Structure 1
Amino acid sequence: MIPTDRLHVVTGGPGSGKTTLIEALAAAGIATSPEVGRAVIKEQLATGGTALPWGDELAFAEEMLVRDVAAQRAALASGRVTMMDRGVPDVVGFLRVSNLPVPPHIDAAAHEVRYNARVFIAPFWAEIYAHDAERKQSPELAEATQAAMVETYRSYGYVLVELPRVGVAERVAFVRAAIGA
């Protein structure tokens, strides 16, 4: 088995500062992997596709799964400590918050495609939540998504480390101290 301890996931609901944190960590020289869901949404909007969280939710989940698996493999191949903006269990969490059944192959992938046992969770943060072209969820759905991610990651055996509601520089320092980077 390939050690996955150097792959660190940041998860949570939309608009909780995950992407901002990942971008700041990248600027600090830490390897990162961007959120695949946002990339899928941008591509689907550009091409008139329907694999969207407000369209064909199962197709969206399947596309995220393929890309999350590829992102995990690429991060492993890099040999570097890498911060991942979400991971395969997020696909399960998305399906759960969408009240859709989790197909067996997605559940199996969440068991098999692993990351560091400690996962950073960005709590819902109403003061920074904002809509944009790819983020159309209500604050209530964003908060429900964060709760679903907590439940989902725990169900796959991960230990959650809540990110503090502080500025970006303080969050970067918190994460760097936690991962020893």
Structure 2
Amino acid sequence: MDRFVVISGCSGGGKSTLLTELGRRGYSVVEEPGRRIVAQELATDGDALPWKDGSAFARRALDMALVDYRAAHYGKGWVFFDRGLIDAAAALQHSTGEQALQRFGQVHRYNRTVFLVPPWPELYTQDQERQHDFAAAVAEYERLLEAYPAVGYDLVILPKLTVAERADFLLACLKQQGSQLGRIS
């Protein structure tokens, strides 16, 4: 789906803040499955947490990302996802060895351009829902740098700018992509 745009990358790199800005500008946004799952599991004393049961967490993230993906079809215009199916499939593959990337990455497509936020130590913070350290966040980022191109996506690394400038940059990239395809989005 050309109008489904994934913003992925390093934990604590500003994805959610960027999604908030895009939502403020009137675009449809889909919150990160992982954060929602962690909040639910913490509230119910569950075990599907990345630091307790990584494979159960990844499977839940994959299920939630599929629901999000299907639900987004009913809207119009750009839909920005804070992570998506590829992130969940990469996490599942990393935790179990199961070949989830190829299975999910080819069937449920997003815009061919995926925007990645790079590691940004000055922004990174741990909290109740983000208990992994910065080194683990960087390792995840490096896996995603390989995962998305492995299933046919082009990556654009978002520059370390203010939130508004990052949103402008992302939207300009999409507009340029639309122009190259013979349409303006």
TM-score by length of 2: 0.90
Amino acid at match of 1:52: L
CA distance in 1, matches of 2:117, 2:37: 21
1:122 aligns with 2:117: yes
Moved more, 30-39 or 106-115: 106-115
- 1:69 maps onto 2:61 in alignment: no
What pairs with 1:121-140 in structure 2 (closer than 5 Å)? 121-140=116-135
TM-score normalised per structure 1: 0.92
Query: Which residue number corresponds to residue 102 of structure 1?
Result: 98
Q: Superposed, which structure 2 residues align to 1:1-181 within 5 Å?
A: 4-98=1-95, 100-104=96-100, 107-180=102-175
Cα offset, 1:177, TM superposition: 1.1
The alignment partner of 1:16 has SS state of: coil
Which secondary structure does the structure 1 equivalent of 2:39 belong to? helix
Structure 1 stretches (4+) deviating beyond 4 angstroms?
none
Amino acid at match of 2:154: V
Aligned-residue Cα RMSD (Å) equals: 1.4
Cα offset for 1:107? 4.0
Contact 2:119 2:141 in 1 (8 A): yes
Distance 2:103 2:50 in 1: 22
Paired with 1:139 and 1:151, the residues of 2 have a C-alpha distance of: 19
Question: Tell me, which stretches of 5 or more residues in structure 1 are unaligned?
Answer: none
Take 1:87 and 1:49, find their aligned partners in 2: how far apart are those partners? 22
Alpha-carbon distance in 1 for matches of 2:145, 2:73 = 24
Question: In structure 2, what residue type is equivalent to 1:56?
Answer: D
Kept after mapping to 2: 8 A contact 1:16/1:129: yes
Shift of 1:80: 2.4
Deviations 1:10-57 (A, max 9, x none): 001210100000011100111111101100000000001000100111
Contact 2:32/2:81, CA 8 A, preserved across alignment: yes
Structure 2: how far apart are the matches of 1:133 and 1:117? 33
